[in-house]
Amino acid sequence: NSYSKIEQFLHFCALGNDYSKEIFFNLERLIYPCSQREDAIYITGLARSGTTTLLNSIYKCEDFASLTYNDMPFVMGPNLWKNLTNFSLKNNRFMERSHKDNIYIDFQSPEAFEEVFWKIQCGKKYILKNFLKLHLVTKKTVDSLIKYQSLICHKYDKKRYLAKNNNLIMRIESLSKQVNDTKFLIMFRNPRDHAFSLMKQHLNF
């Protein structure tokens, strides 16, 4: 509701089809250097397991680059988008997110926008009509992922990458075997508390 009609149109152009997202990614790789990142940390787990809280806690140390709300909607072209929005005068204010779970965000808050990359690369492998499924990650996709992470690190002038992605649980087995410089933090929550939180959000949305 906070987006203007122009902002909604930009979101549609940037995220409405895979073709435009691939164009931005290819332009990024042509224009900006993909310097090798030092290492990466992935936070994953089922929804409502505490992944966002852990993400925010680690991100506060300021050692890591991560996609933020400021990168929306052109998350596949973070450096290009940065140059286009340097003149933006939009007020940056904290507000409670729509989950109503006492987690407050602003444009600099990290979020799980990397899933856009995975949808482009292998969406047909795991996005079915009624559910998502486990899938294997190829070396070609891993190579593109590392380049993508390096572009994000370049934008934020960091050497280490951080991401939260609950859907990573579906691809962690094959991905973890191919990225030796990546640590995976898998969140677990007391089942009764977890179920109660899921029901609360189901009623909320």
Confidence of residue 166 (pLDDT cuts 50, 70, 90): very high
Over residues 68-90, the mean pLDDT reads 78
Burial (Cβ within 10 Å: 0-12, 13-18, ≥19) of residue 185? middle
Over residues 22-32, the mean pLDDT reads 89
Residue pair 18/119 in contact (Cβ under 8 Å)? The answer is yes
Task: Say if residue 13's pLDDT is above 80.
Answer: no
Confidence of residue 3 (pLDDT cuts 50, 70, 90): low
Over residues 114-127, the mean pLDDT reads 94
Confidence of residue 89 (pLDDT cuts 50, 70, 90): very low
Residue pair 86/42 in contact (Cβ under 8 Å)? The answer is no
* Residues 112, 117, 121, 124, Cα dihedral to 10°: 50
pLDDT at 72: 86
pLDDT at 202: 95
pLDDT at 87: 47
Give the whole-angstrom CA distance, residue 164 versus residue 52. 7
Confidence of residue 91 (pLDDT cuts 50, 70, 90): low
Task: State residue 111 phi and psi, 5-degree precision.
Answer: -155, 170
> Residue 174, CB half-sphere, CA atoms under 13 Å: how many?
11
pLDDT at 186: 97
Q: What is the mean pLDDT of the chain?
A: 89
Give the N- to C-terminal CA distance of the chain in Å, as an integer. 15
Give the whole-angstrom CA distance, residue 125 versus residue 134. 8
Paired residues of 133 in beta bridges: none
pLDDT at 4: 64
Share of the chain above pLDDT 70, in %: 86
Share of the chain above pLDDT 90, in %: 73
Residue pair 152/160 in contact (Cβ under 8 Å)? The answer is no
Strands 39-45 and 160-164, sheet pairing: parallel
